[in-house]
Amino acid sequence: MASEKELARLVTADPGLPRPNPTQSYWQHIPHRLANVRSENLPSERDYVIIGSGITGLSVAKTLLENHLTATVTVLEARTLCSGATGRNGGQMAANAGEEYMHLAQVHGPEMAGKIARFTLRNLKKMQDLIEEYDAVETTEMQRLEKLRVFMTDGKFEDFRKSIARLEADHPSMRGIYKTINADTVLEDYGIHGSSGGALLPAGTVWPYRLVTKVFDALLKKYPGRLTIEANTAVESVEHDEENLTPITTVYPYTLHTSRGLMRATSVVYCTNGYSGHLLPSLRGRIHPFKGTMTVQDPGTSLPNQGKSVSWGFHYPPTFDPDTKRHGYGLYYLGQSAKTGYFYFGGENTRMDEAVSADDSFVASHSVSHLQSVLPRFFGKEDEASWKLVSSWSGIMGFSSDGLPLVGRLSSALTGRRGEGEWIAAAFNGYGMANCLLCGEALALMILGGKVNDWLPGAYELVEERLRSILTPPEAVKALSSKL
Ligand SMILES: Cc1cc2nc3c(=O)[nH]c(=O)nc-3n(C[C@H](O)[C@H](O)[C@H](O)COP(=O)(O)OP(=O)(O)OC[C@H]3O[C@@H](n4cnc5c(N)ncnc54)[C@H](O)[C@@H]3O)c2cc1C
């Protein structure tokens, strides 16, 4: 097992810039025509510069443009449009509030834990609304369905049941969202073998790359002149002009050094997720990258297509193999294309140094063969040859030491700069589809001076107490160790 010292080294390492040659995600196998979008010349001065073109960057850009009628906005993206986690995830729209509730209530109290649960459920509804608003149901292959969480041991099932019982006792309005079912029903109705029980919750599946690129496309058309997107433009560093005051630097005090030259901004918004620690060294160990592996597997005609009605999560106690030093991190996630029947299957079985990594330029070959060997077993097909591998790739998530997103203004203590115009929304801990849209919206409204504390959970904000107590590198080490 990785020592605490090794874990501390991994979580505090510089994640670096997004790698220029990522593995190809199936979601991006037909690139959007805006994949390499950029202006002929990098704009020189903008009100708001957003770093990162995933779903969080999209949400911040959209909210700023809609609520500030003259603001100029530029989105800078190191690689192609939406090529980070949003373009390489599992496509699951599901909340994890139920299974996390007990822990959240213990740490933050029942009121805040309930607020977090409601926020994620509202965010999922917002995802579906956005898809409908942009007429993207067909192109994103969005399905409204039930997610079946399957618990592979009695202990996991019992912990889940206790968590749901407490959620329902503390918040009667959330009764009935989760329906627990026994192992026989999991097998007979859903064909899943070897479980101790399961739970159903309202959820969905989506092709996130197609959603984000489609909405960016619409925003470019709606706000010509006010929005530019600069793909293949990495931000290498950010500076704040403190002494050299001129009419330009007074209005645009930030200088961004990019791979295409300099640009100036009034405010800088980091939607850089697992890479945030590169530009913001004080966040290393508070946010760390976590590399995920995805496969697309074709079960052929061996199983009925359930892609319109259900998606799955498989929960098991963490494992460690002393020979290979590989950890199993406790979760596999699975969706099925209603069109092709392909399974989208992800989960980690890797050494710790492979998991706490920001390098998505390769997929460890054993990760793929592991996912190929595990998936048929859930359907009682372990004796068959592996299903055809259609695609495999890796992607970088952002994890925080306390398991919650970071949303808000970055203080001078965090940036090392005097200005007050740097902001962040990052670290969605593997549940971006349940958090990013509303976190991005909240951040943009905060930037514009709005109040969001009646709906943004205070536990997501960058308050001093959080930074001192639970958002720290030692807590990140503790959180990782507790998962092993
Ligand atoms: C394998 C995998 C499976 C997942 N499955 C699911 C799932 O099924 N359901 C779910 O809810 N969530 C899932 N997630 C998590 C989810 O995808 C993320 O939480 C979410 O997409 C984060 O969105 P984002 O916009 O904050 O970050 P990203 O989409 O990662 O966007 C950040 C962007 O910033 C850019 N960037 C970073 N640094 C710089 C820089 N210095 N200069 C310029 N650009 C920069 C990156 O290139 C990137 O495009 C998964 C993630 C992975 C990797």
Task: Work out which ligand 1 atom sits closest to the CA atom of 236.
Answer: 41
The residue whose CA is least distant from atom 15 of ligand 1 is 430
Residue 420 is predicted with a pLDDT of: 93
- Report if residue 26 sits inside a domain: yes
Buried b (16+ CB within 10 A) or exposed e, 226-259: bbbbbbbbbbeebebbeeeeeeebeebbbbbebe
The DSSP result for 269-332, as a single string, is EE--GGGHHHH-GGGBTTEEEEEEEEEEEE-TTSS---TTTEEEEEE---EEETTTTEEEEEEE
Task: Work out which ligand 1 atom sits closest to the CA atom of 55.
Answer: 25
Are 304 and 370 in the same domain? yes
Residue 35 is predicted with a pLDDT of: 98
Instruction: Note whether 418 and 436 are within 8 A (CB).
Output: no
Residue 283: pLDDT band with limits 50, 70, 90: very high
- Report if residue 121 sits inside a domain: no
Number of helices and strands (H, E) in the chain?
A: 15, 18
304 token code pair: 């009925």
In this predicted model, what pLDDT tens digit does every residue of 21-70 receive, in sequence order? 999 999 999 999 999 999 999 999 999 999 999 999 999 999 999 999 99
Residue 302 is predicted with a pLDDT of: 86
- Report if residue 267 sits inside a domain: yes
User: Domain containing 36 — which CATH number?
Assistant: 3.50.50.60
In the chain, the percentage of residues whose pLDDT exceeds 70 is 100
The type of residue at 115 is: K
Are 335 and 431 in the same domain? no
Cα–Cα dist 436/429, whole Å: 11
Task: Report how far ligand 1's centroid is from the alpha carbon of 273 (Å).
Answer: 6
What mean pLDDT do residues 81-107 have? 96
Please name the helix (run of DSSP H) or strand (run of DSSP E) that holds residue 413, with its range, or none.
Answer: helix 412-415
In this predicted model, what pLDDT tens digit does every residue of 219-231 receive, in sequence order? 999 999 999 999 9
Cα torsion at 276, 281, 286, 289 (round to 10°)?
A: 40
CB atoms near residue 16 (< 10 Å): 12
Cα torsion at 348, 360, 220, 74 (round to 10°)?
A: 120
Are 294 and 362 in the same domain? yes
Task: Work out which ligand 1 atom sits closest to the CA atom of 433.
Answer: 11
Place of tokens 């295409």: 260
Q: What is residue 106's DSSP assignment?
A: H
Q: Could you give the 3-state DSSP secondary structure of residue 174? A: helix
- Report if residue 133 sits inside a domain: no
46 token code pair: 């903008």
What mean pLDDT do residues 449-457 have? 97
The residue whose CA is least distant from atom 37 of ligand 1 is 272
What mean pLDDT do residues 170-197 have? 97
Residue 374 is predicted with a pLDDT of: 95
Q: How many domains does the chain have?
A: 2
Residue that terminates a domain, selected from 380, 398, 416: 398
> pLDDT at residue 483 above 80?
no
- Report if residue 109 sits inside a domain: no
Are 325 and 190 in the same domain? yes
C-beta 276 within 6 A of ligand 1: no
C-beta 17 within 6 A of ligand 1: yes
Residue 481: pLDDT band with limits 50, 70, 90: confident
Task: Work out which ligand 1 atom sits closest to the CA atom of 58.
Answer: 25
In this predicted model, what pLDDT tens digit does every residue of 354-409 receive, in sequence order? 999 999 999 988 999 999 999 999 999 987 778 999 999 999 999 999 999 999 99
Are 177 and 230 in the same domain? no
Task: Report how far ligand 1's centroid is from the alpha carbon of 87 (Å).
Answer: 7
Residue that terminates a domain, selected from 333, 368, 398: 398
C-beta 235 within 6 A of ligand 1: yes
Please state, rounded to an integer, the average pLDDT across all residues of the chain.
96
What mean pLDDT do residues 463-478 have? 94
Residue 97: pLDDT band with limits 50, 70, 90: confident
What mean pLDDT do residues 141-146 have? 98
Are 260 and 408 in the same domain? yes
Residue 312: pLDDT band with limits 50, 70, 90: very high
Instruction: Note whether 121 and 177 are within 8 A (CB).
Output: yes
Which residues constitute the domain of residue 361? Answer: 98-104+142-204+288-398
- Report if residue 382 sits inside a domain: yes
The contacts of residue 460 (CB under 8 Å, 6+ apart) are 116, 404, 405, 406, 407, 408, 439
Task: Report how far ligand 1's centroid is from the alpha carbon of 222 (Å).
Answer: 25
- HSE, CB side, 13 Å, CA atoms: give it for residue 31: 11
Task: Report how far ligand 1's centroid is from the alpha carbon of 84 (Å).
Answer: 4
- Report if residue 365 sits inside a domain: yes
Our mutation pick for probing the ligand 1 site, out of 272, 332, 406, counting the most ligand atoms within 8 A of Cβ, is 272
> pLDDT at residue 329 above 80?
yes
Cα–Cα dist 216/213, whole Å: 5
The residue whose CA is least distant from atom 19 of ligand 1 is 432
What mean pLDDT do residues 165-170 have? 98
Task: Report how far ligand 1's centroid is from the alpha carbon of 82 (Å).
Answer: 8
Are 264 and 197 in the same domain? no
294 token code pair: 């995805």
What mean pLDDT do residues 140-149 have? 98
The residue whose CA is least distant from atom 50 of ligand 1 is 89
What mean pLDDT do residues 195-222 have? 98
Our mutation pick for probing the ligand 1 site, out of 296, 428, 431, counting the most ligand atoms within 8 A of Cβ, is 428
In this predicted model, what pLDDT tens digit does every residue of 11-33 receive, in sequence order? 999 999 999 999 999 999 999 99
User: Domain containing 353 — which CATH number?
Assistant: 3.30.9.10
Are 318 and 189 in the same domain? yes
The two beta strands, 406-409 and 261-270, are unpaired
C-beta 147 within 6 A of ligand 1: no
Residue 240 is predicted with a pLDDT of: 96
Are 12 and 53 in the same domain? yes
Residue that terminates a domain, selected from 370, 398, 426: 398
Task: Report how far ligand 1's centroid is from the alpha carbon of 240 (Å).
Answer: 27
The residue whose CA is least distant from atom 18 of ligand 1 is 432
C-beta 440 within 6 A of ligand 1: no
Residue 245 is predicted with a pLDDT of: 82
Our mutation pick for probing the ligand 1 site, out of 275, 337, 422, counting the most ligand atoms within 8 A of Cβ, is 275
Our mutation pick for probing the ligand 1 site, out of 14, 42, 89, 343, counting the most ligand atoms within 8 A of Cβ, is 89
Residue 32 is predicted with a pLDDT of: 98
In this predicted model, what pLDDT tens digit does every residue of 423-433 receive, in sequence order? 999 999 999 99
Task: Report how far ligand 1's centroid is from the alpha carbon of 228 (Å).
Answer: 20
C-beta 91 within 6 A of ligand 1: yes
Residue 484 is predicted with a pLDDT of: 72
